[in-house]
Structure formats: C-alpha cells, structure tokens
Amino acid sequence: MFSLPKNATIIEVGPRDGLQNEGKLVKTEDKLQFIAALQQAGIQEMELTSFVSPKWVPQMADAKEIVAQTKKVGRQFVLTPNERGINAALESGAQSLAVFVGVSNTFNKKNINKTTEESMEALKPLIINLKKQDVFVRACISTAFYCPFEGAVSQEATLALCRQFVEWGVDELSVADTIGMANPKESYELFANLVEAFPDVLITAHFHDTRRMALANISAALQAGVTRFDASAGGLGGCPFAPGATGNVATEDVVNMLHRMDVQTGIDLDMLCQAIEKIEPHVTNPVTTGMYTLYKNQA
C-alpha cells in the first residue's frame, strides 16, 4: 500500500543554496524581502545564509546582516564550514547551525579544501561543544549518492559518515544528492536504511533536480518514512564546487505534489509564488518550474 504521512516539513534553502551559485550579486535588501515573503507564505524552517569565506562564495558575504535583520520565525539555519564560521554565526545571533561534509574526498577537498577525514576530525570537538551549549546542529551530507569527480558513492560510506555525526549528537542529518543523479530506487534504499539506523535523529532529504528525478526521489523517500525535505523556491541554486549540478528541487513543485496527496505542509502555494516573484528579477535566469509557470500564466 502507498503509505503517506499526514504532514511533512519543508526546509526552504533558497536564500542559501538557491543564491550561493548566482553569478550576479543580489543586494542584501532584496534577499531580506525574499526571506520575509517566504516566511509570510508559511515557511517555518529555512537556511538563511552561510558564514563561509567571501573569497570562495562572494554571494554570502552579507551573512551577518542577513541574520541580524531577519525576523525570527521557526528554525533558521546558517551554514558554517569551520570554527571561524561557527563563532561568527553564534556572535551574530544564529541559533541553529548547519555543518557540511562530502562523503567523497575529492568533492570535499574542492568544497572546503580538506579531505573528508580532515573535515571530520576538525568538526568533532566543535559539534560536541555546540551540543554542550544546546545549539541545534544539522549535518549536511554532500555527495551521498554520487560525486561529480569520483562517480558512485557506496551506501556504506554514507551510512558510516552519518553514524559518526549521530555519535557526536547532531539533531538532524540532511542527506544530499548534490548533482541530482540518484534514482527513486536508490533514494528509497538509502533513506529506508537511514530511518531505520537513526530513529532518534531528524532525517531530511536534499535533492538537486539536474536530471528531473527529484520529485520521484522525494516520493520514494516518503515511502521510506522521510517527512522532511529541503527545497528551493523557484528551483534556484546549486553548489559552485559541484560541476554540472543545477538547482534544488523547486519548493512550489514539492508543495503542490504533497498537497495533492493530502500531505499538509502549512505553506500557501500562491504566496510562495509571490515570494519567487520578489527574487526572480534579481537572478540571472528566468524561473521555469511547473507551478510557478502555471501561476504566472494565471496572473
């Protein structure tokens, strides 16, 4: 039987993953208006920005202002790659942090200039310390299925990395198909194993939509018991250090699919499209996702 939960949670990653790869610098005030409109649409969990090196990701250079000027609604994440980022994020008032590591060494080196092992060694004391301070920690696991440089990634390697994070006390694992290559069978198998292995941790699926399989992968992850999905309004985004990766699955298309199956998200689809209208003039490419296109044609 096709089993579905009554509710699912969307973690909106548009202001972070959606914009980090945008070549044209978006003004802080335009990002803030986008974030406010997303909140009005009912988004309760959001990645706001990243405290990363502005030399590596110039678009995120205004992280401090973004955190300071965003109204506190629900759970708001900022990405932090290292101790410096963690300290800056906490000083700016961030209460929930996301750390990120690639299962694949080559990708991790290109993304954070460390091998996976070096990253994990550095993160261990930092995470243990954050949990002593009762900070919510989300661990983002990149290249959980495929790596743009190394190819297929074994499920065992992904599960082993996740297990380390769980042992250090993280609250959430956001497990990512960074280059949008996984298929629904792989999605079901990995997420079923994650849900079974880590029952006390929030398990979130993060799909990029490069090969247009993200909605099918979400449907498979739902069957595996996942109820939390990262998504980016307008399908914006991608990782600048993952060649060929396009944007995340579009929030409006995920919300539509879930609502059509009577899985509630608390998000108003029209208001979500209004939020996309706010950011669309400031990004390079027009938004062509299914539900946003329908919304524009109706208007």
- In the set 140, 162, 239, 273, the catalytic residue is 239
Judged by beta carbon distances under 5 to 8 A according to partner kind, the member of Mg ion, ligand HMG, none in contact with residue 158 is none
Name which of 178 and 269 has its Cβ closer to ligand HMG: 178
Considering only the stretches 10-18, 71-79, 123-131, 186-194, report the one whose residues sit in contact with Mg ion under the rule CB under 5 A. Answer: 10-18
Residue numbers of the site for ligand HMG (CB under 6 A)?
A: 17, 20, 50-53, 55-57, 79, 81-82, 84-85, 100, 111-113, 140, 142, 176, 178, 206, 208, 239, 241
Q: Which residues contact 133 (CB under 8 A, 6 or more apart)?
A: none
Q: Which amino acid is at 146?
A: Y
Q: Which amino acid is at 136?
A: F
Name which of 18 and 42 has its Cβ closer to ligand HMG: 18
Cα 57 from Cα 97, distance rounded (Å): 18
- What string of DSSP letters covers 3-54? ---SB-EEEE-IIIIIHHT-SSPPPHHHHHHHHHHHHHTT--EEEEEE---T
Q: Judged by CB under 5 A, does residue 12 bind Mg ion?
A: no
Strands (DSSP E) contained in the chain are 9-12, 45-50, 75-79, 96-102, 136-142, 146-147, 151-152, 172-177, 202-207, 228-231
Among 12, 17, 186, 252, binds Mg ion (CB under 5 A): 17
Name which of 40 and 106 has its Cβ closer to ligand HMG: 106
Q: What is the DSSP letter of 225?
A: T
Name which of 33 and 53 has its Cβ closer to ligand HMG: 53
Say whether 239 is catalytic: yes
Binding site for Mg ion (CB under 5 A): 17
Name the residues annotated as catalytic: 239
